[in-house]
Structure 1
Amino acid sequence: MTSLDKPTTPEPGTPPPPSEDQKAVTQAALFDAFGGIRGTVETMLPGLLFVMIYTINKDVKLSAIAAGAVAVLLVIVRLLRKDTVKHAFSGVFGVGVGVAFALFTGSAKGFYLPGMIYGVGLGAAFTISALVGFPLLGVILGPVFKENLSWRTRNPGRKKAYTKASLAWGLIFLAKYAILFPLYWWGDATQLGWVLIALKLPPMVLAVYFTWMFLAKAPPPIDVIAEWEAEEQAEKEAKAAAKAAKAARAATKEPGV
């Protein structure tokens, strides 16, 4: 029997418990994955400009064109500064679809509809993925933490954390749009725009906070990239050793043998 006063040895392959450094790494990775402060501002600015202009003059066309122009300008600035453009491009795509809807329908509500539909779909995807045991957040963040999908079979603690976090994202998104869609149907476009702007940041911050809280308490990720690199290096060394051994045997053979 194992003595109760002696520490038990963890099973081989079991990830170590999270440390303070790991919590800091998790926080930094989440901050980068979701765009940080700058990415958040770039996401909010076109929509805010649309609402402000429409509130002042009720001109759908001018509001839509101004929002689209700002979104494109933000991408150009990033390109000139040689910064990453993944968040800016996703933002300009969303704004572009909204602008197209607004100009096509002639209604300011059309600017918001594509993003609202996307948000509901994303909330449903997060929720369903968590319920079926394949959390979407793990798929999104796996490459960020260099673990890819190793959490599914090799790190059950992280799978559980990703499941909880995905469920949190799903419920927060669905609750947000449960507030917005009644305004879309029965409110006016100005009210909808300002409420949407007000609800842009707080739900996102709450979802990211829950994600950090769950992942910070989970086991650290298994760096499969480092494992692959180590395997490749070991394979190269084995081939080099075999080649050297073969050359040594050939050198020791007597001529004519």
Structure 2
Amino acid sequence: MTHEAEAAHRAADQSSTDQPSTDQPGTDRSAMTAAEREAADKAASHEAAQSILQAFGGVRGMIDMTLPGLVFIVAFNITHKVSVAAWSALALCGVFVVVRLLRRETIQHAFSGVFGVALGAWISMKTGKAENFYLPGLLWNVVYCVALAVSALVRWPMIGVMLGPVTGEMFTWRKQNPGRLAAYTKATWAWVVIMGLKPLILFPLYFTHNVNLLGWLKVALGIPPMLLAMYVTWQILLKAPPPIKAQLDDEDE
């Protein structure tokens, strides 16, 4: 449920030296022909665009985000008991944490998923209303979209903040690379529009108390909008100037 927020933390943990850029040490651009420089810039832009899936948790992260909600609605339909459905979803999140520990992977993403599911489970069991399991996620979607919009308005687009550490450019795009600032701003607004469709569709269903329709649509609208937003971002960044690799003494950070 809190996958979008967790993506920012995942991106911040990536090494800024993992992705090449046109400013890597040892690259003598002055000795390159115009065609070679253009090809190098396109390659750098393409590789930076490819970092999107990594920054947003990858396929594994999207699966971790979707399955607990699916388990909840299936268990609720079988048992018609909110507590059984809630504990089933929590148990699955616990399995995710254990698997990541055994594989020596970061549990940051899995832990945030547990927190989100636990909150929804607690509210639904406390109120006895199954639809409240999805309420924290719906509210988070609204907050997330508002945060995206504000970040774009103040010229700190969230997509750039999340991808900068992954591409190795950190925040050089703010002052040194206006083309990428424009691209990150455009991509951030794309996320506002695409991700904003989820609460617009799901909140009216929440107030109808139709748990089945709400649950199944919540699952159905989990991965596809994110994939669409990532694809749009990828297309935007493919056409953006290549990232300028941040130096250790770079004051733009």
Amino acid at match of 2:248: W
Is 1:152 the counterpart of 2:192? The answer is no
Give 1:26 shift: 2.4
Q: Name stretches of at least 5 consecutive residues in structure 1 with no aligned partner.
A: 1-8, 10-15, 231-257
- Residue deviations 1:228-252 (CA, integer Å, cap 9, x gap): 279xxxxxxxxxxxxxxxxxxxxxx
Amino acid at match of 1:110: N
Q: Which residue of 1 is the match for residue 229 of structure 2?
A: 207
1:221, 1:71 → 2: CA distance?
36
Root-mean-square deviation (CA, aligned residues, Å) is 2.0
TM-score when normalising by structure 2: 0.79
Secondary structure of the 1:223 match is: coil
1:240-251 alignment runs, 5 A limit: none
1:222, 1:20 → 2: CA distance?
13
Q: Which residue of 2 is the match for residue 31 of structure 1?
A: 53
1:57-136 alignment runs, 5 A limit: 57-136=79-158
For the 8 Å contact 2:45–2:237, the answer to whether it is kept is no
Q: Which residue of 2 is the match for residue 13 of structure 1?
A: none
For the 8 Å contact 2:180–2:241, the answer to whether it is kept is yes
Distance change >3 Å, CA 220–CA 32, structure 1 → 2: same
Give 1:111 shift: 0.7
Give 1:173 shift: 1.6
Larger radius of gyration: 1
TM-score when normalising by structure 1: 0.78
Amino acid at match of 2:114: V
For the 8 Å contact 1:127–1:171, the answer to whether it is kept is no
Q: Which residue of 1 is the match for residue 248 of structure 2?
A: 228
- Residue deviations 1:54-94 (CA, integer Å, cap 9, x gap): 12221100000010111011011101110122322221221
**Quick check: 133-142 or 48-57, which moved more?**
133-142
1:142-181 alignment runs, 5 A limit: 142-181=164-203
1:94, 1:222 → 2: CA distance?
36
Give runs of ≥4 in structure 1 deviating > 6 Å: none
Give 1:134 shift: 2.0
- Residue deviations 1:26-52 (CA, integer Å, cap 9, x gap): 21x212111221111111111110011
Give 1:24 shift: 3.4
1:127, 1:22 → 2: CA distance?
25
Q: Name stretches of at least 5 consecutive residues in structure 2 with no aligned partner.
A: 1-29, 31-36
Give 1:207 shift: 0.6
Aligned residues: 214
Give 1:21 shift: 5.0
Q: Which residue of 2 is the match for residue 242 of structure 1?
A: none
1:4-43 alignment runs, 5 A limit: 18-20=41-43, 22-27=45-50, 29-43=51-65
